[in-house]
Structure 1
Amino acid sequence: MNGDHSDDNLLIARAFVDPSADASTMTGFDGDGGVWEVTAGGATTAASVAWPAGPITERAEVRREIVALYDEACAVLGVEPRAHDR
């Protein structure tokens, strides 16, 4: 997520954590959501964002939920989402 999709991290942070975020790195996840380290205005905080479909129980569901978060972030921010490999 961080190497291949660093721009996605920032979109998710701006949509769901702080619109003024200037950096974001995914640091973890659990069944309830993802965790990002978000930097805005020189301050860095950890922020949890819930999975769009609700809690998950299988690791394979993580990708689906991150893609859904990306799509929702694009909608919130008015950004055209790119096509996804499914």
Structure 2
Amino acid sequence: MSANPFAPEVVRAVIAHMNDDHPEDTLLIVRALGGLPDATAARMTGLDGTVGVYAGTVDGDETTVQIPWSEPITERAQIRTEVVGLYEQACSRLGLPPRGADGGH
């Protein structure tokens, strides 16, 4: 991870939101874009201006993966845009329809 443009409280809030409200989306992202197609569970563990950091569980073992944003980000609103983009990419790669026009977020 690079130097983080986001305050720790922002990172904590995003992680809590993703893990509490979007665990299925996170699992799709980790399966499709994180190189863990057999993951049975996933959670966001961090982020910075260049990547989202996730932990994916395969066969009971947790592996950390970093999935890059489409471009470097510095504003909180960009996080949502990037995560929705990852979700939509994951759905496309897995052949699944995304929920709603905006990814349901």
- TM-score interval for Structure 1 and Structure 2 normalised by the shorter chain: over 0.9
The answer to whether 1:47 aligns with 2:65 is yes
Count of equivalent residues? 85
Q: After the TM superposition, which residues 1-80 of structure 1 pair with which residues of structure 2 at under 5 Å, given as runs?
A: 1-17=18-34, 18-51=36-69, 53-80=70-97
CA distance in 2 between partners of 1:76 and 1:12 (Å): 10
What TM-score, normalized by structure 1, do the two folds share? 0.92
Any runs of at least 4 consecutive aligned residues in structure 1 with deviations exceeding 2 A, and if so which?
A: none
Please state which structure has a larger fraction of its residues in strand. 1
The letter of the residue matching 2:55 is: E
User: What residue ranges of structure 2 are gaps of 5+ in the alignment?
Assistant: 1-17
CA distance in 1 between partners of 2:71 and 2:94 (Å): 22
CA distance in 2 between partners of 1:42 and 1:4 (Å): 23
Which secondary structure does the structure 2 equivalent of 1:11 belong to? helix
Please state which structure has a larger fraction of its residues in helix. 2
The two structures, once aligned, show a CA RMSD in angstroms of 1.3
What TM-score, normalized by structure 2, do the two folds share? 0.76
User: What residue ranges of structure 1 are gaps of 5+ in the alignment?
Assistant: none
Structure showing greater radius of gyration is 2
